[in-house]
Chain A
């Protein structure tokens, strides 16, 4: 990371600081939210949610590396959150397979038995 920073600094004259990571993670977060609201396939919705969770993970890692390098709190949190989101995805996909068995497709428009 530090060497990469040096190379970027020398070759392109840019300095990568915390704001770069924050902009990246904010972009990922809002792309995720947009995808969650607009996608019509449940699996695509799931991928959008993964983007949101990963945006938070980038934040944790970047804050720990650049702002609070004395501890490991952010890294540990990232590890746990990756494990938890894997568990969530596993069970969400199990539910979606169950829906697929019943309906033969996976589009949210067909999840209309429970309304109002």
Chain B
């Protein structure tokens, strides 16, 4: 670039943020990684006497130990189920709503606000209601929440024990409130995308004899794919760090609904094991980075190509 005199003020203007982000993101991440590699011992009381015990050998073994434990694998599996259902569900609902709204309907503003409003509610607040809606008891008299509604509507077959169910796929139910909260946001993104495409392009396709479906398939959807990718990344990374919602619905130390983010809380405070918690936190970071870094690299590159 040109002479420092020209660019220096720019650097100075960003410098406060560089320092803050440098410390609070990168330095703290490094410190967390450092903690995760520590050797740790713990003093315990056995039979009325103190005894020193080794609880972590240090180095990479801290990682193999946690990754090998059944509880952590259970949490990772839960996370996978939650993320897949959450991402797919949110994308489908968001796209569907935006398609329903994009041509303009009377009362569009009302529908848009209704669909968007759950996003304004915190996970912790929404969790209070959903905890009750997803109550596991079934059958006349016992059922409350959604199950009770199903019984009242004569749809007994739809009852489920939701996230408390005895199933490998139980965390799919935990995705329901998350889909409820974020579909509206994805709708807003797609809606903004649809509105950004000029009417002339659709007209041109229609004149060429394209059916309404073909207009979507060949003209509109391709132009939405960058938005779809952003939406996918946003929802996906939210799912991987989701804590509040599970904390509010299943309680702070639930085993059934545990994911790495909630397990970290248990490790840190119930098990008093900051090293294991740091290992876990680093693994969450790596999982997110595996998804996000290629995306950032890709956007960076396409932007450069565009100039």
A and B held together in a complex = no
Q: B residues engaging A (CB < 8 A)?
A: none
Chain A contacts to B: CB under 8 angstroms? none
